[in-house]
Chains A and B, each alone.
Chain A
Amino acid sequence: DAGVTQSPTHLIKTRGQQVTLRCSPKSGHDTVSWYQQALGQGPQFIFQYYEEEERQRGNFPDRFSGHQFPNYSSELNVNALLLGDSALYLCASSSGTPGELFFGEGSRLTVL
């Protein structure tokens, strides 16, 4: 049984560009949440998707948007990248909320 998979694992972008990160949830999970973790800090909640809709959102600007597909996989899009967006982006899936969180290995984004 595959766990949560994220792609790409690493990527480098320049300021002003746009990025799309992808997440496939654990089999049987219907809820996907995204987190940003800057170096040396705890994760920060970006948003959560359930039934293809954004259900909860953290304190992130509209440059951060997402999508959930009918197969429960999800994308995180960040527009107009800033240097401060450099971080590890983590995806977690669960069966409903609250539910035990299963995390992917993350996508490490570097903005130059």
Chain B
Amino acid sequence: KNEVEQSPQNLTAQEGEFITINCSYSVGISALHWLQQHPGGGIVSLFMLSSGKKKHGRLIATINIQEKHSSLHITASHPRDSAVYICAVCTGNQFYFGTGTSLTVIP
């Protein structure tokens, strides 16, 4: 069993749609990271969360520590949002990564 599960695995949306990507984890964490990876490999950190909710532009990330669940929302999606979104958790001893959600936004 993976310590971090993401859903959906693949997602196609029309430009302007509201998008939600989910992450569930099974370990105790000190922080949860949402990462964005474009083709070619470069990874950008979007959010680091330990509680509550954070917003940056059109991106919103929430975390529920009791339910061990986090969501990443993209409002008014745009083709440039097309990328792989990865959820990662930091425990006291390790980092665990989800397998990623591949998002394609169609104009």
Interface residues of A (CB under 8 A from B): 33, 35, 37, 41-45, 48, 56-58, 88, 90, 92, 97-103, 105-106, 108
Q: Show 29 residue pairs from A and B whose CB-CB distance is below 8 angstroms, ordered by the A residue.
A: A33-B95, A35-B97, A42-B86, A42-B97, A42-B98, A43-B86, A43-B97, A44-B97, A45-B95, A48-B95, A88-B41, A90-B41, A90-B43, A97-B90, A98-B31, A98-B48, A98-B50, A98-B90, A99-B48, A100-B45, A100-B48, A101-B33, A101-B35, A101-B45, A101-B48, A103-B35, A103-B44, A105-B41, A106-B41
Q: Contacts A42-B86, A98-B30, A98-B90: A58 and B95 contacting too (C-beta < 8 A)?
A: yes
Distance, CA A88 to CA B43, complexed state (A): 12
Among A57, A99, A101, which residue has the most Cβ atoms of chain B within 10 A? A101
Q: Tell me if B99 is interfacial: C-beta within 8 Å of chain A.
A: yes
Interface size on B, residues (CB 8 A): 22
How far is it, in angstroms, between the C-alpha of A62 and the C-alpha of B42 when the chains are bound?
27
Main secondary structure, interface of B, reads strand
A contact residues around B31 at 8 Å (CB):
98
User: What chain B residues lie within 8 Å of A90 (beta carbons)?
Assistant: 41, 43
A-B pair number, CB within 8 angstroms: 56
Report which B residues bind A (CB closer than 8 A). 30-31, 33, 35, 41-45, 48, 50, 86, 88, 90, 93-100
B43, B86, B93, B96: which has the most chain A beta carbons within 10 Å? B43
Closest Cβ of chain B to A74, distance in Å, is: 16
A103–B93 touching, CB < 8 Å: no
Residues of A within 8 Å of B97, CB to CB, are 35, 42-45
B10, chain A: closest CB distance, angstroms: 12
Nearest residue, chain A, Cβ from B49? A98
Task: Tell me, rounded to whole Å, the shortest Cβ–Cβ distance linking A108 to chain B.
Answer: 7
CB-nearest residue of chain A relative to B102? Answer: A40
CB distance from B47 to the nearest CB of A (A): 9
Q: Whole-angstrom distance between the alpha carbons of A43 and B100 in the complex?
A: 9
Chain B residue at minimal CB-CB distance from A43: B97
